[in-house]
Every structure is written in C-alpha cells, then in structure tokens.
Amino acid sequence: MKILSAKAIVTAATIGMIPQMSVAGDMATGAEIKAYLSGNTLQGSTGTDPFAEYYDADGTIRGDGYSAKWKVEGDTGCMDYGNGFGCWTAIIHEEGAIWIKEGEADAASMLLQGNPNNY
C-alpha cells in the first residue's frame, strides 16, 4: 500500500477524495493534538467543504464569520459548532493532519502558525 504525504492528502481532500482514502499511520496522543491545535490555524477540507480556523489556547475556535469551541478528551480533538462536541482522532505529519472519525478519514488540514487570518 502506498502511504500518501499529508500534503497529498490535503490536496486530495480539496478535490473530494477523502471518502476513498484509507487511513495509515500512528495516531496522535491527546497532548500532541493539544500542542498542534493550540494557538494555531488549520486550513483544509472535509472533502466537500474547505475551512480555515484559528484554535485559541482558551478553547475558542474562530473562523470567517463564526466561532466554536474545542477541547481534547483522551486522545481525541473535540469540536463543538453548536450541536455538541464531536471528537476525532488524528494522524499528524510535518505537512499537516488527517482527522479520523469512526475509523474513516473525515478531514485533512495543513497547519499555519499563529493566527495569520486575524480571526
């Protein structure tokens, strides 16, 4: 099996291929997810919807025209966009992350240091 780089996965996500990809790699710990998210911006796609969000250290997510909440529970990153928290495991690479829900790749993202979009 060929393992794609996170950059290739983010590219594939932006053209809607996330549901077709298999997940391979080491799952991140809760501490790694917290360090990855806290104070940084994620830019990526859920396969159909692009996103860019700043994850403030205080647990607030800020995007273009909206805010939400985030936290880490165990070895999952959990986000609440108004309908209660949903949680994802993650494979974090140098170039980005694959977010996994119920054993399937659900989103892919690249890390942007800090809050370059001023959300």
pLDDT by 10s per residue, the chain, length 119: 334 444 444 444 443 444 444 455 689 999 999 999 999 999 999 888 899 999 999 999 999 999 999 999 999 999 999 999 999 999 998 889 999 999 999 999 999 999 999 99
Q: DSSP letter at 74?
A: T
Q: If you ran DSSP here, which 8-state letter would residue 18 be given?
A: G
**pLDDT, position 112:** 96
Sequential DSSP letters for 36-55: HHTTEEEEEESSS-EEEEEE
Dump strand ranges (E) for 25-114: 40-45, 50-55, 60-63, 66-73, 76-80, 86-93, 96-101, 104-112
Q: Exposed (0-12), middle (13-18) or buried (19+): which is 90, by Cβ within 10 Å?
A: buried
Output b/e per residue, 36-58; b: 16+ Cβ within 10 A: bbeebbbbbbbbeeeebbbbbee
